[in-house]
Amino acid sequence: MSGPLLEIAGLTVDLPGADGELRRVVHGLDLTLAAGERVALVGESGSGKSVTAAAVLQLMTEARLGGSIRLDGRELLGMRPRDLRRVRGAEVGMVFQDPLTALDPVVRVVDQVAEVLVVHGEGRRAARLRAREVLDRLGVLGRLPRGDGYPHQLSGGMRQRVGIAMAIVAGPRLLIADEPTTALDVRVQEQVLTLLDDLTRERGTAVLLITHDLGIVAGFAERVAVMRSGRLVETAGVDQLFAAPQADYTAQLLAAVPRIDADLPGTTS
Amino acid sequence: MTGDGVTGDGVTGDGVTAPLLAAEGVCYSHPAASGTPSRRAVDDVSLELSAGEVVGVVGESGSGKSTLARTLVRLLRPEAGTVRYRGEDVAGLRGDRLRAYRRDVQMVFQDPYSSLNPRMTVEEIVGEGLVVHERGLDRAGRRERSVTALAEVGLDADVLDRHPRAFSGGQRQRIAIARALVLRPAALICDEPVSALDVSVQAQVVQLLRETQRRHDLAVLFIAHDLAVVRSLCSRVAVMHDGRVVESGSRDAVYLRPTQDYTRSLLAAVPVPDPPRERARRAAARAAAQAAQPAAGGPVEDR
């Protein structure tokens, strides 16, 4: 095994604006992930970080993509839809900010997770068994009456755990998590992050974490890529990036983060 | 729960002024949907805001902090308890006294995209309060006051004729703050005013609030879920959980010497943007969670 797991080279993304005209939102982005590696893609709104994440699995029907996205050496751009469907879920899992966008409100939770496996050819019985295992591991089953139920019976944090279960149940080698805890309260965020951390470590899953939260990045990522206005401004190891940012923009971003552990002057009044 | 809420800890300064705004045992329940039992969103909350003081209210979603804010500005009427403005029960205010309270206590909302009327120009938005509260002013006078308020939040007079859609989230929040400042209020009630903003914009708006507060000696009630932002801005802090104030005191007392387990669990969960420290924090949190819960993956508490 040599070469990166994911290799994005010269990626361009054009999206239609309000006037219908295509507008370039990602300008030639290069990014690689090794197997099992955890990379954070950070930036503010409009930086193109979520668009980049969605481009990997080609989730935006209206987007025009250019450049190259290789998974284990195979080109994903231009791949036939049926081959791409096989990649989604089985090889690359995705977790979204709002778990409700990923969940079907009228399908029972265990069936939803099992469906990911059924789509990839597993028998329904075995699929349900695996789904229950993963949901149990994530602490969801105990929250449902008689071990199953519908998404609306779960809290936001529990729904996000179901989203994670769907993303990892088929054993992908890469997980793309787009602001997975942004909608959650701080203590629930901590639980969900820890589960995401543990599960991907156990399975050796590489993670591309898309986030605006540099505190989360600090504890989760090994390497960080900083985006602004559709371009990478800096890529570095996490300790190096925080200790000695090379780009002015990264330094500004770090300086703007309010810190709970800051040394403050005495209480002002 | 003692009635003294967030008073004291020797940080009230030299004056012994009566609080500008006070909640005393305030309770509020949202109308229940059919079939569900109603729960008190705000349950016996007492809190004081003195002139020139910056008080933070922190809590998770559903803690009741936004509902409390709405009772303070009389958008909601408490089912029990009293909100006092300069010592007077606001429920009984009429006429000039009511107008004075409405002018003096201004609110800034979280979402700058929905709190500004998209059909109005910035001049109309910022000047609207003056039409009600300063009837002696003509259009030119209102315009002048609006320009001054906009300058204070860092916006030029050439924004007057534009509509909210022409502005970014941070600029819209500046317009919302100008709309409050134009009335020369004594207090700002800010409900998650920077939560929807990017971190660099958030820092600018927090700095703007800080400078404005000092310049006018404003009282500010700053409601937020972000414990780090509240720490950077507020001198006193109240922690809300399930509709109640579970802990309150000076900033340093709450952040450095919390007495309640709930406050500790909140503070312990905040990520720190410093890789070695954050990894150590996560490792400690994980060890604590495992010690408390041998069953793997068991959630601690999650609404």
Mean pLDDT along residues B247-263: 96
Look at A91-100, A199-208, B62-71, B77-86 and tell me which has the smallest mean pLDDT. A91-100
Are A187 and B273 in contact (CB < 8 Å)? no
Can you tell me the distance from the alpha carbon of A187 to that of B267, in angstroms, rounded to the nearest whole number?
A: 9
Per-residue model confidence as pLDDT tens digits over A27-51: 999 999 999 999 999 999 889 999 9
Look at B31-45, B132-146, B157-171, B228-242 and tell me which has the smallest mean pLDDT. B31-45
pTM of the model: 0.88
Q: What whole-number percentage of chain B has pLDDT above 70?
A: 89
Give the tokens for residue B138.
């003509």
Per-residue model confidence as pLDDT tens digits over B116-156: 999 999 999 999 999 999 999 999 999 999 999 999 999 99
B101 has a pLDDT exceeding 80: yes
Q: How confident is the model at residue A261 (pLDDT cuts 50, 70, 90)?
A: confident
Are A44 and B206 in contact (CB < 8 Å)? no
Mean pLDDT of chain B: 89
Q: How confident is the model at residue B110 (pLDDT cuts 50, 70, 90)?
A: confident
Are A242 and B272 in contact (CB < 8 Å)? no
Are A269 and B232 in contact (CB < 8 Å)? no
Q: What is the pLDDT of residue A142?
A: 86
Contacts of A261 in chain B (CB under 8 A): 272, 274, 277
Three-state DSSP state, A223: strand
A191 or B302, which is more confident: A191
DSSP state of A222: S
User: How many CB pairs below 8 A link A and B?
Assistant: 142
Can you tell me the distance from the alpha carbon of A1 to that of B281, in angstroms, rounded to the nearest whole number?
A: 35
Q: How confident is the model at residue A268 (pLDDT cuts 50, 70, 90)?
A: very low
User: φ, ψ for residue B102 (rounded to 5)?
Assistant: -65, -30
Mean pLDDT along residues A202-212: 95
Are B286 and A216 in contact (CB < 8 Å)? no
Contacts of B229 in chain A (CB under 8 A): 258
Q: How close does chain B come to A204, measured CA to CA in Å?
A: 19
B221 has a pLDDT exceeding 70: yes
Q: What is the pLDDT of residue A19?
A: 87
Look at A202-206, B81-85, B114-118, B157-161 and tell me which has the smallest mean pLDDT. B114-118
DSSP state of A80: -
Contacts of A168 in chain B (CB under 8 A): none
CB nearest B278 (choices: A138, A219, A256): A219
Q: Which of A103, A94, A113 is nearest to A209 (CA)?
A: A94
Can you tell me the distance from the alpha carbon of B297 to that of B303, in angstroms, rounded to the nearest whole number?
A: 16
Contacts of A250 in chain B (CB under 8 A): none
Per-residue model confidence as pLDDT tens digits over A86-115: 899 899 999 998 877 778 999 999 999 999
Are B252 and A267 in contact (CB < 8 Å)? yes
B298 or A129, which is more confident: A129
Three-state DSSP state, A237: strand
Can you tell me the distance from the alpha carbon of B249 to that of A214, in angstroms, rounded to the nearest whole number?
A: 29
Contacts of A214 in chain B (CB under 8 A): 199, 273
Are B225 and A261 in contact (CB < 8 Å)? no
Mean pLDDT along residues B58-64: 93
Q: Which residue of A has its CA nearest to B229?
A: A258
Q: What is the pLDDT of residue B16?
A: 54
Q: What is the pLDDT of residue A17?
A: 86
Give the tokens for residue B130.
């003056």
Q: What is the pLDDT of residue B12?
A: 41
Q: What is the pLDDT of residue B38?
A: 74
B7 or A108, which is more confident: A108
Q: How confident is the model at residue B8 (pLDDT cuts 50, 70, 90)?
A: very low
Q: What is the pLDDT of residue B303?
A: 46
Q: Which residue of A has its CA nearest to B53?
A: A269
Are B297 and A155 in contact (CB < 8 Å)? no
Q: What whole-number percentage of chain A has pLDDT above 70?
A: 97
CB nearest A260 (choices: B270, B299, B300): B270
Q: What is the pLDDT of residue B291?
A: 81
Q: How confident is the model at residue A1 (pLDDT cuts 50, 70, 90)?
A: low
Angle, CA of A103, A104 and A105, to the nearest 5°: 105
Look at A240-244, A245-249, B78-82, B109-113 and tell me which has the smallest mean pLDDT. B109-113
B66 has a pLDDT exceeding 70: yes
Q: What is the pLDDT of residue A72?
A: 95
Contacts of B296 in chain A (CB under 8 A): 137, 139
Q: What is the pLDDT of residue B17?
A: 59
Q: How confident is the model at residue A262 (pLDDT cuts 50, 70, 90)?
A: confident
Choosing among B274, B279, B301, which should be mutated to test the A contact, i.e. which has the most A CBs within 10 A?
B274
Q: How close does chain A come to B240, measured CA to CA in Å?
A: 13
B8 contacts B50 by C-beta, under 8 angstroms: no
B261 has a pLDDT exceeding 90: yes
B13 has a pLDDT exceeding 70: no
Q: How confident is the model at residue A269 (pLDDT cuts 50, 70, 90)?
A: very low
Are B297 and A138 in contact (CB < 8 Å)? yes
Q: How far, in Å, are A52, A71, B6, B41, B248 from residue B1 at the CA level? A: 51, 59, 12, 16, 11
Q: How close does chain B come to A143, measured CA to CA in Å?
A: 9
Q: What is the pLDDT of residue B9?
A: 39
Mean pLDDT of chain A: 92
Q: What whole-number percentage of chain B has pLDDT above 90?
A: 78
Contacts of A139 in chain B (CB under 8 A): 296-299
Look at A93-97, A265-269, B113-117 and tell me which has the smallest mean pLDDT. A265-269
Q: What is the pLDDT of residue B5?
A: 41
Q: Which of B232, B225, B171, B180 is nearest to B198 (CA)?
A: B171
Per-residue model confidence as pLDDT tens digits over A133-178: 999 989 998 888 887 889 988 888 899 999 999 999 999 999 999 9
- Can you give chain B as a three-state secondary structure string? CCCCCCCCCCCCCCCCCCCCEEEEEEEEECCCCCCCCCCEEEEEEEEEECCCCEEEEECCCCCCHHHHHHHHCCCCCCCEEEEEECCEEHHHCCHHHHHHHHHHEEEECCCCCCCCCCCCCHHHHHHHHHHHHCCCCCHHHHHHHHHHHHHHCCCCHHHCCCCHHHCCHHHHHHHHHHHHHCCCCCEEEEECCCCCCCHHHHHHHHHHHHHHHHHHCCEEEEEECCHHHHHHHCCEEEEEECCEEEEEEEHHHHHHCCCCHHHHHHHHCCCCCCHHHHHHHHHHHHHHHHHHCCCCCCCCCCC
